[in-house]
Amino acid sequence: MAQARLSMQQIVRQRRRAGLVARAAERELFRANFDSAPGDTGHRFLFHVHGNAGVGKTRLLREFEHIARERGALTSYVDAGVDGIPEALAEMCRQFAAQGHRFKELERVLAAHRERRHEAETAAHAALAPEPDGAPSAGSMAVARAGLAGLGLVPGAGAFAAVIDPTQLAQGADRLRAGLSARFRSHEDVQLVLSPESVLTPVLADELDGVATDVPWIVLFFDTYERTGPFLDPWLHDVMTSERHGAFPATVVVVTAGQHPPATARWGGFADFMTSLPLRPFTEAESRGLLAGRGVTAEPVVAEVLRLTGGLPVLVSMLAGAGPAGPDEVPDPSATAVERFLKWEAHPVRRAAALAGALPRRLDADVFRVAAGCDGEQLDELYSWVSGLPFVDEHGGGLRYHDVVRAPMLRFQRGRSPRGWTERQRRLAEAFGQWREETEAGRDAGRLWADEEWRELRLAESYHLLCARDRQALAEVLRDLVEACDQGEAVAGHWVRALQDAGRDAELVEAAAWGQELAAALGQGGTGAVLDRLVEGVRRRRAWRSAARTQGGTAAGASGTDLGRTLTGPVPAGARPGSAPGGRPAGAHARYRMPAELPAEVRLRVHRSRAVALAAQQDYGDAVAHLTCAEALAPLDAGVVAEKGECLRAMGAHDRALPELEHAVRLDPAHAYAWASLGATRLALGDPVAANTALTRALRLRPDYFWALLRRARASRELGAHAECLADLDRAVALQPDSPWAHCERGDALRAAGRDEEALAAYDLALSLDPDYASAYASRGVAHHRLGRTAEALADLDRALEIDPSYTWARTQRDTVVRHRDG
């Protein structure tokens, strides 16, 4: 029988594997794991490979993958090309299908997730209040982002995502719920948007369980964990240590690889089923073995490679692949590290292409054409050659240089020709700027930040402007960071990393300092802490400059930016006086005020963003303080005034909320949210007639305003208008049939109308949608009591108090039932 022909890719992999003579202990440990049954105490379900960049983690994972497939395993390999759980599962599905195992149901649910997410984003944009000129203002964009945060669509807004009762949501969430109401008709659709992993993971578990009968092992690889770990690690921990999402087959093995060791707080108690594999640079024996496997044995050449690389595997592999000829190749000791890396590549065009490819943080053919200044056949040839270099990996549809190689290449180019460096960085910035402008054509400028492609182009443009030392670049990046914070922690993190990377790559002291401090703030307190840090940085810079002038010195910033017009960097180390000259500003909200040097539009955005974040945490007092400052900057902005009034209402300060909301509707009589909040406030103050009037105004402006329908139903119930009350509730249930709140409110209305049996059915439906809904249990208990079912009444009221021991109304009703029983 004729031998099967190998593909080019298979031959390349065989040759590369033939040179892998190191990491024998790690490979043997992994191979032996397949010789032990899952029930054996020595069997491991999780391996975590960790070590510095360039130490060979990816290479070892690929070897592990080969070992697993030799044992018949079904495998998947996920790296930093994914941005969340759904993307990771989609990549796994693609790879499983390529191995002959379609996960059809998971593919279907993933497609549904993408559709629902797109619908949610579309609804969010449609929820913007129209402006006179047809374009959304900064204020209305903040409102839409508040709505996105309120439904968990903005990464990092977890506190908002857990809120069920819309009374606790800010304006944007109310508008977004109304926009989504016509689209989402099932609880699963809602969960696919709010918490996609809760829907997708059980489907994955079922798919894996089904395929486990066909293959002996299933091995899931997750590389570049330093980037994917923030969202993958808690999910994997949940999947592997609980059955919340279903049972996974015992034949599943998970392998992760990143720069950091496993998180002790999360994994410290699970040492009996996981193995940590720290990787360090090659020993001299391992390096010599790899070089010998590539035919490099001449001692002067081997000694030079060992000296240059320090045993870092990616560099040893690179120099071994270049095949230096003999002792005459030993480089001049004064040569730069980059010259040593490339000195065996004689072709000057290829050398230049390798250096040019290091300039962007992420490379594809279009970016390479700009960086290398080539086109046509030369572009194809050089890009193909660069793609095959040992220090270049595929990443997210493009290429990325290993950090340990890219960094010295950047230093070399910057030092060799500073003007050439600046010119090339500006050329790249202009290209990304042009591509960004092309994506903006014919689109609403207020909605661009929700577009991932636009954000990536804007960020790449900003990074290269920073590297070119553009005088306004740092200020623009910090301004953009305020907008990025509105999009959530993940997006803000991209901007912070760009500051860190540019600071390191171009030796920008100020940008590096900002990046370091903002990264710490993001890790400690999320986007709110980032915004606070931006403001505090300007305060301290102003105080430092003032102190320097008092002492007769100067305090020019490294970037040369003007504090009167732009954001500037942190105060240099050791130059931070305790307080600004003149002391703290006076006033009730002094600690919320921002330096006057910040442009008013930036101060307004920061105040509103902080208010949204604080309201999401139900910290309404501080949210009101920020909105008070925002109102001082934009006194005619009805949205700001309405948000302030709603926060006051939510914290129970109805007397203070009333004049704010009345002022908001005077500023903008077409502001439906302000009318609805005003109606709820009047209802709380005991005026159901005025409440009904305000809520009717809101519903004339927005007929499908779910929250306003429920509030008007309450007002009608208090007025004894049971038919009108039930009509509003029937409309609300039609809009959101999976809303526990709507069904509970309908039950309360039926009970008030003396229709207790029908009320019980409504409560049952509410509890089927939310089994922990304390209010529905308490109300159902009262309905049971009215029907003479004492045991059922006490069981429901006890359950309500078990869920919420502070539920005063439920305790009062229980006491009434007990007195009636004993009386």
Q: Which residue has the tokens 């659709």?
A: 189
Average pLDDT on 288-309 reads 78
Three-class DSSP labels, 344-374 = CCCCHHHHHHHHHHCCCCCECHHHHHHHHCC
Q: Output the CA torsion sign for 532, 533, 535, 540.
A: positive
Residues 228 and 79: beta-carbon distance below 8 Å: yes
Residue 707 pLDDT: 92
Residue 34 pLDDT: 95
pLDDT at 14 exceeding the cut of 80: no
Residue 574 pLDDT: 35
Residue 208 pLDDT: 95
Residue 138 pLDDT: 43
If you average pLDDT over every residue of the chain, what do you get?
80
Q: Which of 478, 370, 347 is nearest to 429 (CA)?
A: 370
| Direct distance between the N- and C-terminal alpha carbons of the chain, in angstroms, rounded to an integer | 94
Q: Comparing 248 with 526, which gets the higher pLDDT?
A: 248
Residue 426 pLDDT: 96
CA neighbours within 13 Å on the CB side: how many for 727?
A: 5
Cα 231 from Cα 220, distance rounded (Å): 16
pLDDT category, 129, cuts 50, 70, 90? very low
pLDDT at 111 exceeding the cut of 50: yes
pLDDT in tens, 540-598: 655 544 444 444 443 333 333 333 333 433 333 333 223 232 222 333 344 556 666 66
Average pLDDT on 738-751 reads 92
Q: Comparing 657 with 524, which gets the higher pLDDT?
A: 657
pLDDT at 255 exceeding the cut of 70: yes
pLDDT at 89 exceeding the cut of 90: yes
Spatial neighbors of 724 by CB under 8 A, at least 6 apart, are: 716
Residue 109 pLDDT: 92
Q: Comparing 407 with 812, which gets the higher pLDDT?
A: 812
Residue 342 pLDDT: 61
Q: Comparing 86 with 124, which gets the higher pLDDT?
A: 86
Residue 288 pLDDT: 86
Beta strands in 207-251 (DSSP E): 218-222
Residue 730 pLDDT: 93
Residue 258 pLDDT: 87
pLDDT category, 488, cuts 50, 70, 90? confident
Average pLDDT on 67-77 reads 95
Instruction: DSSP for 744-771, please give it.
Output: HHHHHHHHHTT-HHHHHHHHHHHHHH-T
Average pLDDT on 194-213 reads 92
The model's pTM is 0.50
Indicate the residue type of 236. Answer: L
Q: Compute the chain's Rg from CA coordinates.
A: 31
Strands 252-258 and 398-401: unpaired
DSSP, collapsed to helix, strand or coil, labels residue 274 as strand
Average pLDDT on 240-256 reads 91
pLDDT at 493 exceeding the cut of 80: yes
Please, is 1 exposed, middle or buried when counting C-beta atoms within 10 Å of its C-beta (0-12, 13-18, 19+)?
exposed
pLDDT in tens, 148-167: 444 444 433 333 333 333 34
DSSP bridge partners of 50: 258, 278
Q: Which of 268, 305, 270, 300 is nearest to 286 (CA)?
A: 305
Q: Which residue has the tokens 């018949």?
A: 72
Average pLDDT on 449-476 reads 93
Residue 78 pLDDT: 94
Rounded to 5, what percent of the chain is helix, strand, coil? 65, 5, 30
Tokens of 714: 């309450």
Q: What percent of the chain has pLDDT over 90?
A: 47
> 6-20, 399-413, 645-659, 763-777 — which is least confidently predicted?
6-20
Tokens of 530: 């980032």
Number of Cβ within a 10 Å radius of residue 317: 25
Residue 404 pLDDT: 67
Instruction: DSSP for 291-358, please give it.
Output: HHHTT---HHHHHHHHHHHTT-HHHHHHHHHH---SGGGPPPTTS-HHHHHHTT---HHHHHHHHHHT
Residues 776 and 748: beta-carbon distance below 8 Å: no
Residue 322 pLDDT: 64
pLDDT at 468 exceeding the cut of 60: yes
Spatial neighbors of 127 by CB under 8 A, at least 6 apart, are: 143, 144, 147, 172, 175, 176, 178, 179
pLDDT at 174 exceeding the cut of 70: no
> 139-143, 169-173, 294-298, 680-684 — which is least confidently predicted?
139-143
Instruction: DSSP for 435-489, please give it.
Output: HHHHHHTTS-GGGGGG-HHHHHHHHHHHHHHHHTT-TTHHHHHHHHHHHHHHT-H
pLDDT in tens, 408-461: 788 888 888 999 999 999 999 999 999 999 999 888 776 788 888 999 999 999
Tokens of 745: 């409110």
pLDDT at 337 exceeding the cut of 50: no
pLDDT category, 336, cuts 50, 70, 90? very low
DSSP, collapsed to helix, strand or coil, labels residue 731 as helix
Please tell me which of 327-331, 442-446, 468-472 the model is most confident about, judged by mean pLDDT: 468-472
Q: Which residue has the tokens 């009374």?
A: 167
> 173-187, 514-528, 771-785 — which is least confidently predicted?
173-187
Residues 608 and 642: beta-carbon distance below 8 Å: no
Please, is 635 exposed, middle or buried when counting C-beta atoms within 10 Å of its C-beta (0-12, 13-18, 19+)?
exposed
> 52-66, 302-316, 386-400, 683-697 — which is least confidently predicted?
302-316
pLDDT in tens, 698-711: 999 999 999 999 99
Average pLDDT on 137-156 reads 42
Alpha carbon 466 to chain centroid, angstroms: 24
Length of the chain measured in residues: 823
pLDDT at 67 exceeding the cut of 70: yes
